[in-house]
Amino acid sequence: MYTNPAHSIHTPDWLATLDPGNFEQAALSAFRFQYRHNDIYRSYVDALGKKDAGIDKITDIPYLPVSFFKSHTVLTNCTPADCPVVFESSGTTGMESSRHYIKEPALYRDSFTRIFERFYGSPSSFIFLCLLPSYIERGNSSLVYMADELIRLSRHEKSGFYLNEWEELAAMLAQQRDRKIILLGVTFALLDFAAQFPADLSHVIVMETGGMKGRREEWTRQQVHDFLKQQWQLPAVHSEYGMTELLSQAYARENGIFQCPGFMKVLVRDENDPFDIRETGSGCLNIIDLANIHSCSFIATDDIGKIAADGSFEALGRADNSALRGCSLMVV
């Protein structure tokens, strides 16, 4: 029987115990815990006329609109004073940012480290070269926090962040080494860098995290990947799907097909009926992130996508009339 998540998260292998076989039970347990101990979420659920006793499957769970992280302090069983870290979305000029209060930074580190290891292996096997301009300058980016920890775990002197040192970065990428190289970058920076420094990087894993930030014309993911593959002779471009409001990520190693870890699940809701929620098909994306136990694990995003029968998904763009998020994916 799955135990109360308030107690489970303090066991070292809590996240590792979650899999498709016990995920729904764990999610329902997390929902009841957050309904009782998260004032904002409970008010939202009550306003919809729902109660925790009437929720018995994940498609019944109310999903909190991601915009609440801009307008409210979303916390479960804690206060801002209990949170040593606050992540803030980059947004775009003139837009309000989301704020995600983190009670246990170690839980975030455990989450993204486990996910990376599942899809790619130990971070110590890689050199991480991170091209994250505009995010580096902000001291409260969850993406930079994750990249910085992966750099530390790589234990390699050449791993690091690059801002304007493009010639140095190009030289680093050209060198064949005893370790694999991951070039992790936001989309607009990768496109600009690839345009100026074409090369044979077939030995490099290039991973885009989304994000144009109004720097250039919006491209589809396919256009981005085709350009990067052409400029760098890549067999594939990898992608990371994450956001300030989540503690978990999904990865796509080719073709933009994302896979989730055992403690994250993506569903779809009808664009015109937010209560029509399904586990497969096309629509707006709802996300269950069980690592988000201290904020809200049930998020209704503004992204549009398509979910396959095996739980993998494509992120296809943004819903009409939704505010652009700094790390958003390209509109199709």
Q: Write out pLDDT tens, residues 58-97.
A: 999 999 999 999 999 999 999 999 999 999 987 654 578 8
Give the CA angle between residues 89, 90, 93 to the nearest 5°. 130
pLDDT band at 53 (very low <50, low <70, confident <90, very high): confident
Q: Is the pLDDT of residue 327 over 60?
A: no
Mean pLDDT in the chain? Answer: 87
- The CA distance from 331 to 317, in Å, is 4
Residues 111 and 238 placed together within one structural domain of the fold: yes
Question: If you average pLDDT over residues 161-183, what whole number do you get?
Answer: 87
Residues 204 and 281 placed together within one structural domain of the fold: no
pLDDT band at 254 (very low <50, low <70, confident <90, very high): confident
Residues 303 and 226 placed together within one structural domain of the fold: no
Torsion angle defined by CA atoms of residues 74, 2, 248 and 58, in that order, rounded to the nearest 10 degrees: -70
- The strand pairing partners of 306, in sequence order, are 282, 314
CB 50 within 8 A of CB 108: no
pTM for this prediction:
0.89
How many beta carbons lie within 10 A of that of residue 153, not counting itself? Answer: 18
CB 30 within 8 A of CB 58: no
**pLDDT of res. 109:** 95
Residues 217 and 278 placed together within one structural domain of the fold: no
Residue 225 resides in a domain: yes
Let me know how many helices (H) and strands (E) the chain has, helices first: 9, 14
Residues 149 and 191 placed together within one structural domain of the fold: yes
Q: pLDDT tens digits, residue range 204-215?
A: 999 999 876 555
- The strand pairing partners of 207, in sequence order, are 184, 238
Domain-terminating residue out of 212, 244, 276: 244
Give the CA angle between residues 276, 330, 275 to the nearest 5°. 10
Residue 99 resides in a domain: no
pLDDT band at 331 (very low <50, low <70, confident <90, very high): very low
Question: If you average pLDDT over residues 164-174, what whole number do you get?
Answer: 90
Containing structural domain, residue 228: 107-244
Residues 111 and 240 placed together within one structural domain of the fold: yes
222 vs 327 pLDDT, higher one: 222
Q: Is the pLDDT of residue 5 over 60?
A: no
Q: Which residue bears the tokens 């098909």?
A: 281
Q: pLDDT tens digits, residue range 286-320?
A: 999 999 999 999 999 999 999 999 999 999 877 76
- The CA distance from 258 to 266, in Å, is 10
The number of domains in the chain is 2
Residue 329 resides in a domain: no
Residues 129 and 215 placed together within one structural domain of the fold: yes
**pLDDT of res. 52:** 74
Residues 288 and 226 placed together within one structural domain of the fold: no
- CATH number, domain of 161, equals 3.40.50
How many beta carbons lie within 10 A of that of residue 1, not counting itself? Answer: 5
Percent of the chain with pLDDT over 90: 71
Residue 90 resides in a domain: no
Asked which of 24-33, 114-123, 138-147, 287-296 is least confident by mean pLDDT, the reply is 138-147
Residues 187 and 226 placed together within one structural domain of the fold: yes
Residues 128 and 210 placed together within one structural domain of the fold: yes
Residues 68 and 114 placed together within one structural domain of the fold: no
Residue 332 resides in a domain: no
